[in-house]
Structures are given as C-alpha cells and as structure tokens.
Structure 1
C-alpha cells in the first residue's frame, strides 16, 4: 500500500524558499568576494585629532578610496610611530581593539579607525626612554606597503610601553 504524505501548502512554500533562494547574507558575501581587495594605492590615509584629556589624545585614521573602482577592505591595518628623520619605528606598534568587519568602499567613500594615544610623559623617563616622533606609519588592511602621516609628538623607545591603540576599520556612512 502506498502512502502519500501531505504537507500543508505553507510548509511546502517555506521548504521551497529555503532551497531556491540564497540567504541575504550569502548574497552579500558573494557580492563582496567578487569585488577586488583594496590595495595601498587605492586608499589615501590621513589623521584627524578629535579630543584629549586625562593623559590621552584621541583621533582617527581615515582611509579614502581614491581609486576609480570599488574595492573590499576592513579589519585592522598596521599603525606605529616613526621618527629619527628616516622612518624608523619608535617603540611598540599600536595595540588592536575590537572585532573586524569587512565591507566594500566605492570611490570617494571612507573607512575610519579610532586612535587612542597615551601621552609618553605619563611614564617615568627611565621606563619610557622618550624620543621625538615625526608621525605615523600606516598600513592599510592587507597591504605590505605603508603610508606616512605627519604627526609630531613624543614616543617611548621602550617597546614594552604601548602608547597607541586603534580599532578595526569601519565604513563611514
């Protein structure tokens, strides 16, 4: 004897919908994967100070897509102080805070990483070993070449002293 299994129409439609239509997140991931990753030459980095207080200076690294095409980026880049007049790193690189997200930047769009700088004078001179800083060395995410941003301050030559922290890049809307 053959048995026929009858499902309510709503259940059949729901089952068919899950099999035939990819989820929106899957579609977005597929679209992002088709867009090339941003290269160092695609993004221009700059720094903007925002506030200060209690021995800290706050600002943001802004990446602008200066290319003529959309590109995919996000997550963390590299950030450190440089000095000595020749781009030599001064002290420890920036500590990374938060979680990474990835996104597409169209020409002219921006991505932002918040920066927190601890003032070097907060540390004993013997611990810090202060040294003048010419600026930031910035690596955009997934790049092997860096950009320089002028930012005169004082850093610590001691690599055990971490003066800078920054967040993952987020798309600025």
Structure 2
C-alpha cells in the first residue's frame, strides 16, 4: 500500500514498500512526468518514496494528489490510502482521533525554563546596571532564578552536553 506522507502546496511525497523495487519506481516516475502541471519527480528506491513537485497555482492540489495515487495504483498494481480529510498542511500534526499531540513533560519544562532564563536575565542586567537602592534584593533573586532555570535546561539536555 502506498500513501501520501507529506504534502504542502507545490510538493508531495508518496511512500510505500512497493516503491523499493527500482524497476517499478522508474515506471512510476515516467508516468508521473506525463501528468499536467508536474514540474519535477524525484525517486528514492532505498527510502521507497517519490517526491513530486507541481505548479500548485495551475493545479487544484487535492485532485492532483488523488490523480498521483491513481497513477501509482495503475502502474504498480497496488492499493493506496486515500488522503485524510485533515488539511494537507496539518497532516502529521494530529494524533489518533484528530486531537493534537501533547508535548513531553521535559519539553514543556524546558520551554518554561528558557522563558524564565530570558526574563530573569533582563531583570538581572537592568538591576545590575542601574543600581538603585533596594534593587539588590531583586538582582539576587532573579540571579538565582536564572541559575535554577539554567539547571533545568542543562538537565533536559544532559545527554547532548556530555557527548
């Protein structure tokens, strides 16, 4: 079975195990070149994929996707997975049932750590630069906040730091 794995206006990637055979992939490439509005076809037998670039202004992208899958079905004699009703630009960003995938907790913690580092760095620099009376406390507190956020960030990326 072949399916569309990536699609943006003007570019489409089709992948399937049937595309690993060099002879069938070359036949598919030849037939895809014959389609209207196709600009370029690149095939990769090792990856089992074909990338089709087309003029997205001249072609209605959705009908061209189906046309490419039908050509692949005729040439290779295999079935294809119909494109999902989710918009092409959103394909791959949604999990099962159409809900958005949640980020891992370590990535959420790292995002917050980077925000705290940026905010505290601004305060540390401002309080250290202007040196108004009574701001020493805020300079110290935000310096420690920066240090704590940096520790979280380094913990999340510890494997990359110690290579």
Query: What's the TM-score, normalizing by structure 1?
Result: 0.20
* Larger helix percent: 2
Task: Point out the structure with max Rg over C-alpha.
Answer: 2
Query: What's the TM-score, normalizing by structure 2?
Result: 0.20
